[in-house]
Amino acid sequence: MKTPDNSRPVTGVFWMVVTGLLFVMVTAVVKYMGPRIPAAEAAFLRYILGLILLLPMLRAVQRAHLSRGQLGLFAIRGLAHAMGVWAWFFAMARIPIADVTAMNYLSPIYVTLGAALFLGEKLAFRRIAAVVMALIGALIILRPGFREVGPGHFAMLAAALVFALSYLLGKRLTDETGPAVVVVMLSVVVPIGLAPLAFAVWVTPTMTELALLMGVAVIATTGHFTMGLAFKAAPLTVTQPVTFLQLVWAVTLGAVMFGEPADFWVVLGGSIIMASVLFITLREAALKRRLRTPVVNATKL
């Protein structure tokens, strides 16, 4: 029997639609800023400004009484996530929004592989087939030999991989300490990891650029909140398919705001990757398993 919190599919879909729009807005703002502010500095400032929004949650960390081992895992996760955020900002300023959004869907595929390798989860034939199809989707997007594959594409591949590591560690730490602690610790460690890279290439930001980065922090934080509301209202099997709309919005936004031509092959590859993610999600629900691997359905900012 479903719980009341899990029986409002329309509400869940609504909040997931809002979440997708918010995360596409994040990509639009970062794209609008362009490459003048180096990626490491932009990511560093986004997290520093975002810490202001998390001050009310600091008490949760004090009450957690973290062990040395947990602090070590938080440090590893934060540094890994810092590299992923840097790579995402780098890619966002150099390749079309649709490419970034489509390649973003690779993260849950990497998570699935990582869960099998490091968490002992079973990698059945159907999961292997879904992973292979997702990788084919990535090749369709990149089309090496048929289009120019630049540093931005390689950065996005690396970002998806590093974010997968971050989510695997985040899953374990959330089980041990709670989501509030995990969010705050990530927001504290990431700017520490980014600081040396940011100061090495520092460019004094304008007030407009600072305002835009503050906007990124507010929009991304709001997006994570609305995503939580979606997950509370409905199961992943209801909300997960809605995340595909992000690719549609990204293609539309890139064409309308930035003059980026709609690339059929990017949409096709992204659709294949998203179908693979959806298949894994539905398969887990059909087998009535507890979902152990987090599903990534948005930007990681």
Q: Measuring CA to CA, which residue among 290, 281, 253, 289 is closest to residue 22?
A: 253
Residue at 238 is within a domain: yes
Q: Is the pLDDT of residue 292 over 60?
A: no
pLDDT for residue 110: 80
Mean pLDDT to the nearest integer, 48-75: 84
pLDDT digits (tens, 9 = 90+) for 70-100: 899 999 999 999 999 899 989 988 888 888 8
pLDDT digits (tens, 9 = 90+) for 178-227: 777 888 888 889 999 999 999 999 999 999 999 999 999 889 888 877 87
Residue at 292 is within a domain: no
Residue at 299 is within a domain: no
Q: Is the pLDDT of residue 299 over 60?
A: no
Residue at 295 is within a domain: no
**Judging by beta carbons within 10 Å of its beta carbon (0-12, 13-18, 19+), is residue 286 exposed, middle or buried?**
exposed
Integer Rg of the chain from CA: 19
pLDDT digits (tens, 9 = 90+) for 109-134: 787 777 777 666 676 777 778 778 88
DSSP string, 74-89: HHHHHHHHHHHHHHHH
pTM: 0.76
Residue 228, domain extent = 4-286
Q: Is the pLDDT of residue 164 over 80?
A: yes
pLDDT for residue 3: 44
Alpha carbon of residue 225 to chain centroid: 14
Residue at 59 is within a domain: yes
Mean pLDDT to the nearest integer, 57-66: 80
Task: Look at phi and psi of residue 78 and say left if phi exceeds 0, alpha if psi is from -120 to 50, else beta.
Answer: alpha
Residue at 100 is within a domain: yes
CB atoms within 10 A of CB 165: 20
Residue at 301 is within a domain: no
- Output the average pLDDT for the chain: 80
Sign of the C-alpha dihedral, residues 217, 200, 162, 167?
A: negative
Q: Is the pLDDT of residue 291 over 50?
A: no
List the single range of 23-27, 127-131, 283-287 with lowest mean pLDDT.
283-287
Residue at 137 is within a domain: yes
How many domains is the chain built from? 1
What single letter denotes the amino acid at residue 75? A
DSSP class of 147:
B
